[in-house]
Chains A and B, each alone.
Chain A
Amino acid sequence: MVMSHDDVFETVGRPLLSDGRIKISCRNVNVYYGNKHAIKDVSVDIAEKEVTAFIGPSGCGKSTFLRCINRMNDTIKDCRFEGNITIDGENIYDKNMDPVLLRARIGMVFQKPNPFPKSIYKNVAYGPSIHGLARNKSELDEIVITSLERAGLFNEVKDQLDHPGTSLSGGQQQRLCIARAISVHPEIILMDEPCSALDPIATAKIEELIDELRQNYTIIIVTHSMQQAARVSQRTAFFHLGSLVEVDDTNTIFVNPEHKLTQDYITGRYG
């Protein structure tokens, strides 16, 4: 299948939601890196308190799109954004919106675990202390402990909170990063291939954790693994060459995809 980069696909499935569950709403989003058109006219709604998975082959723009939602692309030179993203009806690209405050509302977990070279305690306490969420040491202790508990890490590290975060195993490091992300009480958690550097057992733990977290948070996860998308997500969006090809309930996408490309991708015919 040969296709030029200028092909723009009409999104099929159910990209837009009509009920009151909308948390994030993206309309006509275009992103350019210099001359490269990385995201092409994407419109999609993300539902509240459920897991949305972004799947697609490498370089299809799913990570770029994810980074638009907390404006992390602002830190990249030559990156230009067009379109409209609102969270709870509030335009996050409004010129009065402070990206720093925005990012405090949106946690992010990265592909490679990136704990700071500080102690486990300080890794989690970092966010609350820069945002002044704790008035004293005991409040901070409590935030750290709750966050670690929610990330399913507390029992493993409770005796070594002063050890460096980098001394943990890869899976533990990633759960530490999740604890760090939820320590500032975000509404949304963005996960950029959070399990791609982990072994199957650590992956299973993170997936379990994601399933628990969705009761309190809106989660978007970018993943290369279709099984993972099928296991953890309620809705799935399939990206291809910067276009959003198809969005629907995860069940529908994996059992009865509408678009030929989606079908080819999930059956492993390409990608």
Chain B
Amino acid sequence: MNNLSLLLVVIVLSVAGYYLGRKRSVDVVRGEIRHLHSLPGYYGLFVALWCGLPALVVLAVWIASQTSVITSLVVSGLPPDFRSLPGEQLSLVINDIRNIADGTIVSGTRDQALYAAAKHYNRLKVTGFLAILAVILSICIAGLGLSKRHIAPSMRARVKVERTITVLMVLCSTVAIFTTVGIVLSVLFESIRFFNQIPITDFLFGLEWSPQMAIRADQVGAAGSFGIAPLLTGTLMISGIAMLVAVPIGLMSAIYMSEYATDRVRTVAKPVLEILAGIPTVVYGFFAALTVAPFLRDIGAGMGLDVSSESALAAGLVMGIMIIPFISSLSDDVINAVPQSLRDGSMGIGATKSETVVKVVLPAALPGIVGSILLGVSRAIGETMIVVMAAGLTANLTANPLNAVTTFTVQIVTLLIGDQEFDSPKTLAAFALGLVLFIMTLCLNIIALYVVRRYREQYE
């Protein structure tokens, strides 16, 4: 007795509608399908859509509104002294009623009126379910009957079905767009709340990051506590180290794979390389924290260097390894997209293979390679798990990769872990950091897309 069973009812009826509509269309022309405008399946789909879509819309509206409808009915049935409670307490009462109705254990004794209200709540739920079941059944059957009656040899079922499906596809793509817009707006509004408490100049240009200090009321907004400079340098340093590892290795392997490797090597080595892209980042994370970082520290100790056990170097090295497959497989694609005729032209004039690669193929593929590198950088900046585990939490403003540094993503994680007040600058700072991160990766992606798009026009 829940909404899932309603959905099942609609689906079963639509499937039935499909077969009925299909059969009806064949019957109308007495089996001579060539007299129909569309294939019988389209008439079936036409009936199924008319049967299912309106009912699904009604069902969606019901699912979205049932809680508030039932709650407001229950509230209106409560004794007046409950109804006059202020909003927050009223919602506590409603919570109690729901708990009682679900049979969950309620702490303390409760007013008899609440038990009555819970019964009322349950009754309303049953009534509501039966009512919506009746509504949906009648919509389905009405849609099925009406559309079935419409079936005639001249009816353009295919056109109608295809138009409906186009609309459905548009709706699906809108969902993705609206989700993005929603996330961006919510981050933006929370950031604005943050900037109401902390001046944006302090945030952008402050040299000290120490959000914990802001807990004390008299220090909220104290200048310097929310400066992102150390986070920015930390993020850039780790991303820079990662790119120093990933770009040469990724590019070299892409060149080898596309220009030099025999078919047999390629078929084996390429999938193996791409397995790297499938390793969860958390695995890279503990690899960095438990293997690479202590290893670097020991080497450093041997050379008389003071390497922190959570160093930017360790996090950056492992992150670079993680990014290799992105750069190598994207670059491999763009190198392969360079027309063979250019290689022939170069070889035909007496250039060696390496001269051809360095002087003709790579320059021609350069925009695409730059695009892949930029995508790699934006991935490095947004990467979280490796730096959380291996980079440390101390917001050091340093240029020494052997020190512990911290990044935007790490700070967002630590700001939001545990119980938090959702209106303190400390929590809101996470949104502001998220916004900065979002703008940085967005800019990189836009540049990358622009570069890649220009590359497409290269050989016209």
Contact = CB atoms under 8 A, between A and B. Distances in A.
B458 A114 contact: no
Interface of B is mostly: helix
Interface stretch (A36-44, A69-77, A88-96, A211-219): A69-77
A130 B459 CA distance: 23
A107 B342 contact: no
B350 A166 contact: no
A195 interface: no
B350 A131 contact: yes
A112 B352 CA distance: 22
Contact of B460 (A75, A115, A166): A166
B349 A103 contact: yes
User: Range of interface residues on chain A?
Assistant: 20 to 34
B345 interface: yes
B225 to A, nearest CB: 52
Interface stretch (A176-184, A235-243, A258-266): A176-184
B341 A181 contact: no
A114 B341 contact: yes
Interface in A21-79: 70, 72, 75, 77
A104 B341 CA distance: 17
B363 A180 contact: no
Nearest to A108: B348
Interface in B343-401: 344-352, 355, 359-360, 363-364
Contacts of A72: 344, 347-348
A9 interface: no
Contact of A181 (B347, B348, B360, B363): B348
Contacts, number: 73
A110 B341 contact: yes
Contact of B350 (A77, A100, A115, A116): A100
B345 A180 contact: yes
B263 A110 contact: no
Contact of B359 (A70, A114, A130): A130
A61 B324 CA distance: 44
Residue of B339, B341, B350, B460 contacting most chain A CB atoms (<10 Å): B350
A3 interface: no
Contact of A100 (B339, B351, B360): B351
Given A126-B359, A130-B355, A130-B359, A116 B348 contact: no
Contacts of A126: 346, 349, 351, 359-360
A118 interface: yes
A127 interface: yes
Contact of B348 (A103, A115, A118): A103
Interface in A142-191: 166, 177, 180-181, 183-184
A103 B345 contact: no
Contacts of B460: 166
Given A107-B349, A110-B345, 13 more contacts: A72-B344, A101-B350, A103-B350, A107-B348, A110-B341, A114-B342, A116-B360, A117-B458, A118-B363, A126-B351, A130-B349, A130-B355, A181-B349
19 contacts: A75-B344, A101-B350, A103-B347, A103-B348, A104-B350, A105-B350, A108-B348, A108-B349, A116-B342, A116-B345, A116-B364, A118-B363, A126-B346, A126-B349, A127-B350, A130-B350, A130-B351, A166-B458, A166-B460
Interface of B: 263, 339, 341-342, 344-352, 355, 359-360, 363-364, 458-460
Interface of A: 70, 72, 75, 77, 100-105, 107-108, 110, 112, 114-118, 126-127, 130-131, 166, 177, 180-181, 183-184
8 pairs of A and B residues whose beta carbons are closest in the complex? A104-B350, A108-B348, A114-B341, A103-B350, A127-B349, A114-B345, A117-B364, A100-B352
